[in-house]
Amino acid sequence: MATLHGAADNRLLAALPNSDRRRILADCETVELTLAQVLCAPWVPRNCIYFPTSSSISLTMPTDDSAAFEVGLIGNEGMLGIALVLDAELSPERAVVQGAGSALRMDAAPLRRELRRSKALRGAVDRYVHIRMSQLAQAAICAHFHLLESRLARRLLMSQDRAHANTFNVTQEVLALKLGVRRVGVTKAASSLQRRRLIRYSRGDITVLDRSGLMVASCGCYQADRESYERIRCQ
Q: Does 215 bind a second copy (CB under 8 A)?
A: no
Residues of span 142-171 touching a second copy by CB under 8 A: 143-145
- Contact track, DNA, 111-150, x by CB under 7 A: -----------------------------------xxxx-
What is residue 232's three-state secondary structure? helix
Number of residues that bind DNA (CB under 7 A): 23
Among residues 142, 145, 146, 152, the alpha carbon closest in space to that of 188 is found at 152
3-state SS string over 61-99? EECCCCCEEEEEEECCCCCECHHHHCCCCCCCCEEEEEE
Half-sphere exposure (Cβ direction) of 39: Cα atoms closer than 13 Å:
31
State the binding partner of 191 from DNA, a second copy, none, CB within 5 to 8 A by kind.
DNA
φ/ψ (deg, to 5) at 96: -130, 140
- Nearby residues of 8 by Cβ (< 8 Å), 6 or more positions away: 14
β-pair type (199-202, 101-107): unpaired
Q: Does 229 bind a second copy (CB under 8 A)?
A: no
**If residue 173 lies in a helix (H) or strand (E), which one and from where to where?**
helix 172-179
Count of CB atoms situated within 10 Å of the CB of 10:
26
182, 197, 226, 231: which one contacts DNA (CB under 7 A)? 182
Residues of span 160-179 touching DNA by CB under 7 A: 171-173
131, 177, 190, 221: which one contacts DNA (CB under 7 A)? 190
State the binding partner of 182 from a second copy, DNA, none, CB within 5 to 8 A by kind.
DNA
Tell me which residues touch a second copy (CB under 8 A).
Answer: 43, 61, 63-64, 69, 71, 82-83, 85-93, 122-123, 126-127, 129-130, 132-134, 136-141, 143-145, 180, 219-220, 224, 228, 231-232, 235
Binding site for DNA (CB under 7 A): 146-149, 171-173, 180-185, 187-191, 194, 201-204
